[in-house]
Each structure stands twice: as structure tokens, then as C-alpha cells.
Structure 1
């Protein structure tokens, strides 16, 4: 998993496609899921990826395919790390599907491709399938696609899928128009079916953990794709992506520790690489549910509380008093605990939702309150201000912040260990509140940006285990 390794090995090229859109909301997720389901029904082993820091789309990929989806990101992670993650994940797979972010060329600014789906497609040398919302156009699709095709000629834009098509005749008009665009195949048009649309809420689409999608729904998506798209042609035109050097994961320490990881419908936002890095560095992950489990897993030497939607399950979390007390006692004993966003809220005194306060773990002397508007959004670079369970003073890592809640009370009574800066390098405050041996804040760190943090966290748990 790390980039610092002397051992490398080659892999052969692999079939891959990037599903991009002309803009956000065009239907990339629905079509990506439909293609995954269709290819899986044909007996192919599919590996999914998502461009950007989002947790929700990868959750849907994972539920459908039964295997972890992977995050690719042009700012949190280096080009080398992204390529290595892609190649490593594709070992033994028949096809890779990369779901893009926003519009194909949309990134961090209006002048460059940085942070865009186009940039990632180039890094992977992967072909692009462009999704177009055709609900209010016919022949104009040709002009639109021609513009996308010629805007960056070194991008491998190979095919188009029309979404929200009104009728068979509408699909025919679109197909006829696309005949004028050279070297771009028209794969067909999907009609709009509300029953397979994924609803949204304040952090994006409804999560797969919160609203479990049945095998029947995924089957409907597969049938829809097979009926309206030329899937065989898509398989024929799939092109190979990068043949790169794989950087193997770090060797696990001999002495393993048990790490409790909160994972249920309330806490479901984890980068799979984070979990894998913790495992490689010697952690045995022991999953538990703060919503349903009365006790922590036995013999754990640390806790990892990820993000999610604790506010939606605040009542159930409050009712589970036995687990809240056990986590509080563990924190007071000095057990290493790392919590992000929703996990941070869970460790506070209470969560206020629409005027009602729900008691939480009550470790921190402040509460959190849900707001009707977004409080913070953006990439963050974190610098440790002091030594901590994540490493020594000065250690850096990158992550993302996105939340609709705020702190109530005086956080100044608790030391903050994260010095934050934005993607542009502008200081944007502090985070990472340290109490006993618990470090928690709103930032979702990606350990792939600095695997040393994962190693330090596991080492902190190992030290606690040896002293206990």
C-alpha cells in the first residue's frame, strides 16, 4: 500500500472504462451500477472505483459487487499511488469500471484539468464513456459530444450513453445525430425509470447501508442496461489501461492487535485503503455496531469510529447506553481512539437534531448541533501540532471535510492537534481534539496520503495492549 518500497512487480494491462458525465446529476451512478450489474450477470469479475473523496457511491458499488470499491483522488493521493492502487486492485479481475466525479472536465479551477475525471482517465490511460442527459435534446447531442471529443484530443473518449430518453423515436434521432461524430460510438439510450433512481440527501445520495438495495433492484438495472444499451459492443471496445509497477503493501508486524471498528448504518464512511493499511500494519479489524451491539468486541486495544449519519440514528445511539458507557470507560483508561466526523459527533456530549438533544458518549465537554445548511466542505491538509497516536509533531496527511453540524460549547478547553490548510494552501483553522488518548475531529483522513499515520495508530494500540 505504500509508495516507499524496493520490491516491485509488473502486471499485464487490464480492460477498463471510465464512466463520465457532461455534468453532475446526469446519471453516472445509476448507469455505472447498471453496467456493473450487467457485466456481473455475464459472468465477469468487476472491480469498481470512484473518483473523488465521496463515500456513498463506493458503498453502492460494494453492495452490488460484493467486493470493496476503491477511491481514486487527484489531490489527496499522488498519481503514482492512484496508478498503483488501480493496478493492485485489478489483479484477478476481468474488468475495471471507474465512476467519475462531476462533469468530465470539472476540477479544482477553470484553467486546468487538475482534480477532474479527465485527469484520472489520462493517468490510467483508460477509455471514457460519456453519459449525456438527452431529456431535452435530439440532434444537438452531436454538437455537444463533438465539443467534448475535441476539447482535449489526448483523452480517449470512445463512446456515448444517452440518459433520460423519452421514446424509441427519440433514441433513433440521437443515434442518427451521433453518426456525424467520428470515432465515438453511440451505445444507446436509457429511458427514465423512477423505480431505479437513487434518492439524495444532504451529504449526497442515500447510502447503501441506510437504504439497502435489494438484488431485485440491481437485477432491474442490469435488465434495463441490456435492453437499451449495446453491452456487447461496449465489451468489444473496452481498452486496456495502464500496465504499471505494483507497489506491494507493507509487511504486517508480527504482533497483531485487535482494533474495534464501528460499522453499521450510522457509521459507514471509511476509505477501504484506510482499513487495508491498518490491517497490513498489524490490526485485526473487529467490526461492531454502535446502534445494536451492547458491548465492544472482546480484547480490543483501540477503536476507529468513522463517519456517516449518526444524526439519523441519534435516538437508537442514545438508547444504547451500555455501549456508550463502555466506550467512555475505554477512553478514560487511555485506549487509543481515532474518530472522524460522525464518530467525533458520537463522542461529544450530545447531538441536537431539530431541537431535540440526544445524549452520546459524553467524552468531550461540548455538543454538536445539526444545521439546515452546509457548515464546511473541502479538501484539507493536516499537520500534527504535537506528538499523538497518529504520529510525531509535524507529520502531514491529506483528507476531506464535509458536514452539516457545528460544535456547541467551548472546544478551547480541549487541545486541538490538527493545523488545517485548504487545497490552495490557505490556513483554515484547527481540528483534531485530543483528550486522554482519543483524537477526534471533522476531517476524514486518507491514510494513503501518508501511510505512516496508519502505522503509528496501530503502534499506539500495540503499546496500549502491552501495558494493559
Structure 2
């Protein structure tokens, strides 16, 4: 029977990802099969999980997914020894308005699955107050069980002793304390973590993190705190219609942000996926009946994309007879022009009139609920799509017919409507699920 745990924290940036990867790799070194999940919409962490465990990880999201979908996704952990769900932001952080089965908070997933929570606490600049924070999280919501805490970035043995005593007095188990150790920090980028597939040394970093955590954390005690979990048999599929029978998927360092569960759902529904690299000046497979450009970092490769004539001409030829869809970065590449962070304007494929700029960065972040005004690949007009948007580009022009009416999680209408022109469509949000 698998044992399940949720790794969470009071806030972002405390060390959830590092601890999750370290625990997963350390237990794997002990011969255990470890399955990871990511609570919430972050599409980068699952690739790190896969690097640590050797098993594909997917997102589970209470705002965008119903309980049946979440149960279906986590059932892949049925043959594992340990199942770890990494949280996002703070334990109870979500949106104000409830979505399909919750607010997107990590606590929703912990309660839904019945898995205890291991908190990562950074007591920098405090001592006994760290225990008050942990106790407050423990008692804030009925239905959750706190397994214990791991202290991170502890300044000294005296500091650790003060915090440990306060936590013990509060009845909270301390599984270990990690001194400051910058060498295991994962590299950062403007959208968060560098993608795992871009980081050549990721295996060494995870191994170092595993050794470090194993030396300072009682791995056996953490494992004993996990809840035995018997996945319930589910006939609930993801109810995802593939965008086509044969899908040409752009896939390289510029086009890499796509939710793993979406690709799995397409394949499960019988679709075939062929990949091509715009950065290698490749066009979509001529035998495909739809082309999909995911998000990624096109702004970092805009000059090369603009210069790759074979890719651009191949995509334009494809779009004359078959649908092409772009998400976020892919949407920008379908546009007319992209201005990079240095203010240099690069010509894009011109299938849509969208013009975007990174010269003045402005963060766009949050859940999106879109009602389609026209069809897009895999979805009919009127469909309600749930997704997530995260980018720093500014719209200079979006002249084409809007693809959808798009609301944020509060219900407010937003300007990032997506576009359609001929066979081309695009959205700024990354698709997670369709309301049924």
C-alpha cells in the first residue's frame, strides 16, 4: 500500500521543491518507488519531479479539476511505495472564489486525499515564533493533519535548539533541521525555476540535495508519518478531446510549457503526437492534421525564430489548410512581431496580428476561465476552458477577432482574449481542463 504525504510551507520560496526532490531521490536510493505530483498550476516542477524519481509527474488542481479527475490522475501512484504531493505557495493560499472542487490551495488536495502535511519552515529572523506559525497552520482548518516540520536555513545550533524546544512544547514533531547550504539551491529564471530539461547538472544537484537532507533529516520518521493510501478504482477519464488525430507539437527550449496530463489525455484518446523543433528550423509534420505551439521562452530565442525561414514558411503552409493553435509563447510566435527585453523587434510568423513586447516587463499571473466565442482545436464554440496564465509580455496590438471571453478567478473580464484568424488561434492561458 502506498504511503502519501503533502510537502507544503507557510509561503513561497521556503524550500518545498528542494525538499520534495531530495526526499524523492533519497528514498529512491533506498530502493523505494516514489511518485510525485504538483498541487496547483505550476508547469515546471513536474519535470524536476520526473528527474528525481524516474516517473512522470502531473499537476492536480482543485480550482480547475473535479474530484474524479484528481482521483484519476493520482491513481498512477497505486504501484509506488511513497507518494509525494508538492504544494504551491502557502498551505492555504488559493483564489477567493471557489472553482470546480476548491480554491486551488494545497490544503484542498491534502484534505481530499487524506494525506498528512510536512511543513517546511524557514525560521530566519525568528525563533519561537516559528512554532506559533506552525501551530496556526496546524489548527487553521479542520480535516487536515500535520505530520511535522522540517526546518530550513537554520542559522546555528543555538538557533535550532530554540526553535525545536518551542515546536516540541506545541506538540509538533521536528523531522530535521537544514543549515544554510546555498550549493543545493536550484537556479532561477524570470518565470521561476529553470526547466529541468535545460539544466544539464540537475541530476547532480538532486543527488547533492538528497545527501544533504539525508544527513540532517530523519527519513524513517518522515516515512512513518505518511498515511497509508488505497487509491479508489476510478473509471473517470480526463474527458479531454484531442485537438486532432495526428498532432504536430513544437518541442524545444523555446516551446516546452505544456501540462503533462494534457499530452497523456490526448494519447489516451487515440491521438498520435509528432514533435518538431522550430529552433532547429523544422516545420510541422506534413501528415499531421493540427499543429500545436506550446508556451516557453520564445523571447529568449526570438532572433533565431525570426531567422528560421524553413520553420516559418512550413508553418504558414500548414495553416493554409489545417488548424494551428498557440498557447502563451506559442501565441506570441503566431503573431506579427515580438520585442525582446533589449527592445529589439523581431518578425514572427504573421498568422495572427498579435504584437507583444518584453521591453517593459509586466507580470500577468492567475487562473483563467474562458468561454469560447469560436471553435479552437479540440473544443467547440461555447466551451468553458479552465487554464492558467503566467508571462511578462505586454500586448502592443491584438487586432484579430477575439477567440473567447476570458475571466480571472474573481470573475473580472480581462483583456487577454486570445485571437483567431483563418485556421490560426491562440490564447495567453495554458489549458488545464474543460468544464463538463
> Any idea what the Cα deviations from partners look like across 1:259-304, whole Å, max 9, x if unmatched?
1111221111111111012112221111222212534345222211
Q: Tell me the TM-score normalised to structure 2 length.
A: 0.91
For 2:94 and 2:229, locate their aligned partners in 1 and report how far apart those are by CA, in whole Å: 22
CA distance 1:384–1:143, change in 2 (3 Å): closer
1:419 matched residue in structure 2: 405
Distance 1:273 1:239, change over 3 A: same
Query: CA distance change for structure 1 residues 245 and 425 in 2, over 3 Å: closer, same or farther?
Result: farther
1:441 and 2:427 aligned: yes
Worse-matched range after superposition: 260-269 or 63-72:
63-72
The alignment status of 1:229 with 2:217, answered yes or no, reads yes
Pick closer, same or farther for the CA change 1:301–1:239 going to 2, 3 Å: same
SS in 2 for 1:245: coil
- Partner residue, 1:341: 328
Q: Distance in 2 between matches of 1:132 and 1:111?
A: 27
How far, CA to CA, are the matches of 1:449 and 1:337 in structure 2?
Answer: 19
Label 1:110 to 1:302 Cα distance change in 2 as closer, same or farther (>3 A). Answer: closer
Question: In 2 relative to 1, CA 390–265 (structure 1 residues): closer, same or farther, beyond 3 Å?
Answer: same
**15-24 vs 420-429, which deviates more?**
420-429
What secondary structure is seen at the aligned counterpart in 1 of 2:59?
Answer: strand
Q: Is the 8 A contact 1:187 1:229 kept in 2?
A: yes
Q: Cα distance 1:364–1:33, how it changes in 2: closer, same or farther (>3 A)? A: same
Q: Secondary structure at the match of 2:78?
A: coil
What is the Cα deviation at residue 425 of structure 1? 2.4
Selected match of 1:407 from 386, 395, 412: 395
TM-superposed CA distance for 1:225, in Å, is 0.9
Change over 3 Å in CA distance of 1:292–1:65 after alignment to 2: farther
Query: RMSD across aligned C-alpha pairs, in angstroms?
Result: 2.5
SS of the counterpart of 1:47? strand
Which runs of at least 4 in structure 1 moved beyond 4 Å after TM superposition?
A: 110-113, 250-253
Instruction: Structure 2 unaligned segments of length 5 or more: list them.
Output: none
Give the number of the structure with larger relative contact order, counting CA–CA contacts within 8 Å between residues 6 or more apart: 1
- Name stretches of at least 5 consecutive residues in structure 1 with no aligned partner: 1-12, 452-468
Would the aligned equivalents of 2:4 and 2:84 in 1 still touch at CA under 8 Å? yes
By how many angstroms is 1:91 displaced?
A: 2.7
Aligned counterpart, 1:202: 190
Does the CA-based 8 Å contact 1:369-1:406 persist in structure 2? yes
Match of 2:57 in 1: 69
Q: Is the 8 A contact 1:291 1:320 kept in 2?
A: yes
Distance in 1 (alpha carbons) for counterparts of 2:97 and 2:284: 48
Report how far residue 379 of structure 1 moved.
Answer: 1.3
Alpha-carbon distance in structure 2 between the residues aligned to 1:138 and 1:336: 58
Q: How many pairs does the alignment contain?
A: 431
Q: How far, CA to CA, are the matches of 2:249 and 2:22 in structure 1?
A: 31
Assess if the C-alpha contact under 8 Å between 2:332 and 2:354 holds in 1. no
SS at match of 1:428: coil
Determine helix, strand or coil for the equivalent of 2:79.
coil
- CA distance in 2: counterparts of 1:250 and 1:135, whole angstroms: 42
Is the alpha carbon distance of 1:29 and 1:193 closer, same or farther for their aligned partners in structure 2, counting shifts above 3 Å?
A: same
Alpha-carbon spacing, 1:179–1:98, altered in 2? closer, same or farther (3 Å): same
Which runs of structure 2 are paired with 1:40-439 in the superposition (5 Å)?
40-87=28-75, 89-109=76-96, 114-182=103-171, 184-241=172-229, 243-249=231-237, 257-297=245-285, 299-332=287-320, 334-353=321-340, 354-409=342-397, 411-412=398-399, 414-429=400-415, 431-439=417-425
How does the TM-score come out when normalised to structure 1?
0.85
User: How far off its partner does 1:374 sit?
Assistant: 2.2
